[in-house]
Structure 1
Amino acid sequence: MTDDGDGAGRAGRDRDFTDVGRALSAPARSVIVGLLMDGTARPAGELAHAAGVGAPAASEHLAVLVAAGLVTYRSQGRHRYYALAGPEVADALEALGALAAPTPVAGLRRSREADRLAAARFCYDHLAGRLGVGLVDAWVTRGWLADPEVLTLTDAGADGLRGLGVDVDGAVAARRATTRACADWTERRMHLAGALGAAVGARFLAAGWVARTSGRGLRLTPSGQALVREEWGVDLAPTGGGDGPGRA
Structure 2
Amino acid sequence: MRTRGADLAGLAALLADPTRAELCLALLDGRAWTAGELARHAGIAASTATEHLNRLLAGGMLAERRQGRHRYVQLADPGVAELLEALLGRLEPSPSRTSSLRVATATAALARGRTCYDHLAGRLGVTITDAMIARELLDPAAGFALTDAGFAWLTGPLGIAESALRATRRPLVKPCLDWTERRTHLGGVAGAQLHHRLHDLGWIQRSGTGRAVRLTTPGTAALTVLLPLDP
User: What TM-score results when the alignment is normalised by the length of structure 2?
Assistant: 0.89
2:45 aligned with 1:54: yes
Gaps of 5+ in 2: none
Q: CA RMSD in A?
A: 2.0
- Which entry has the higher C-alpha Rg, 1 or 2? 1
* Aligned residues of 1:151 and 1:192 also touching (Cα < 8 A): no
- Counterparts of 1:117 and 1:157 in 2: how far apart (Å)? 27
Partner residue, 2:58: 67
- Measured at CA, do residues 234 and 26 of structure 1 come closer, stay the same or move farther in structure 2, by a change above 3 Å? farther
Aligned to 1:204: 198
In structure 2, relative to structure 1, the CA distance for the partners of 1:169 and 1:18 (3 Å cut) is same
Contact persistence 1:179–1:195 (CA under 8 A): yes
In structure 1, C-alpha distance between the alignment counterparts of 2:17 and 2:73, rounded to whole Å? 18
Match of 1:32 in 2: 23
Q: Which amino acid aligns with 1:146?
A: D
TM-score by length of 1: 0.83
1:1-248 to 2 correspondence within 5 Å? 16-100=7-91, 102=94, 104-147=97-140, 150-162=143-155, 163-213=157-207, 214-231=209-226, 232-235=228-231
Q: 1:134 Cα shift?
A: 0.8
1:191 shift after superposition: 1.0
Structure 2: distance between partners of 1:92 and 1:15: 18
CA contact (8 A) 1:144 1:154 kept: yes
**In the TM superposition, what is the alpha-carbon distance from 1:209 to its structure 2 partner?**
0.9
Q: Distance in 2 between matches of 1:149 and 1:31?
A: 35
- The SS at the match of 2:230 is coil
Task: Give the distance between the partners of 2:213 and 2:130, measured in 1 at CA.
Answer: 19
Provide the rounded CA distance (Å) in 2 between the counterparts of 1:82 and 1:53.
17
Does the residue aligned with 1:57 lie in a helix, a strand or coil?
helix
Higher relative contact order (CA 8 A, sep 6+): 1
SS in 2 for 1:219: strand
Aligned residues: 224
Q: CA deviation at 1:227?
A: 2.7
- AA matched with 2:57: V
Residues 191 and 184 of structure 1: is their aligned pair in 2 closer, same or farther, counting only changes over 3 Å?
same
Which has the higher mean CA deviation after the structures are superposed, 160-169 or 137-146?
A: 160-169
